[in-house]
Amino acid sequence: MRREPVVDSPEEWPVTASRLSFHGKVWDIRTDDVVMPDGATAARDYQQHPGAVGVLAIDEERRVLLVRQYRHPVRHRLWELPAGLLDVPGENPLHAAQRELYEEAHTKAGEWRTLIDFYSSPGGSSEALRIFLARDLAEADGERFQAEHEELDLQVDRIDLDELVRLVLAGDLHNGALVSSVLAAKVALDSDVFGEAGRYGLRPAEAPWPARPFE
């Protein structure tokens, strides 16, 4: 029995009507009437999201640069990767990631690769994320970015990658982008199945991203 390739494929079922249910500052809630395989129509609510990027920045001592900030929806202060929205249509995600690393940690990196792409919650949101692996870290040039709102209370630290894996598996860290990226980085950095040493078989930083096309 021949198996189809294990790869996600684009597909779009017919939509008979679409309406904006809620308009927010950053994202909207949209309701689509979708035609099911049996011909019936069902309403589907989802978050219409611009997408986001994050950076797993790791230094020569295998410490990952993290930020810790308050997240009101879950009433937690979470450890996270430097990250931000793709709120400029068509923006190059690498440039957005470099900006976020500068703004949140006043850090720059000399080497960038694409680590993982994923949908955060595809059953209810269109949010697509790209996480970069950044190496060769150094303090950024110029003045520090002037933070506001939750970022005024931002805490920045560097934590050993193996310790982060332990904390993820112990259930002590909960941010989805951090959890998936830490495990992916551990595999990529420690496995020899990814090709040339020092490159880990990871895609280039500007690899195509069909979920959020860019120039």
Q: Catalytic residue numbers?
A: 151
Contacts 24+ apart (CB under 8 A), 160-168: 160/61, 160/62, 160/63, 160/64, 161/58, 161/62, 161/63, 161/64, 161/185, 161/186, 161/189, 162/62, 162/186, 164/64
- Which residue type is seen at 5? P
φ/ψ of residue 56, rounded to 5: -95, 95
Could you give the CA distance from residue 51 to residue 89 in angstroms, rounded to a whole number? 10
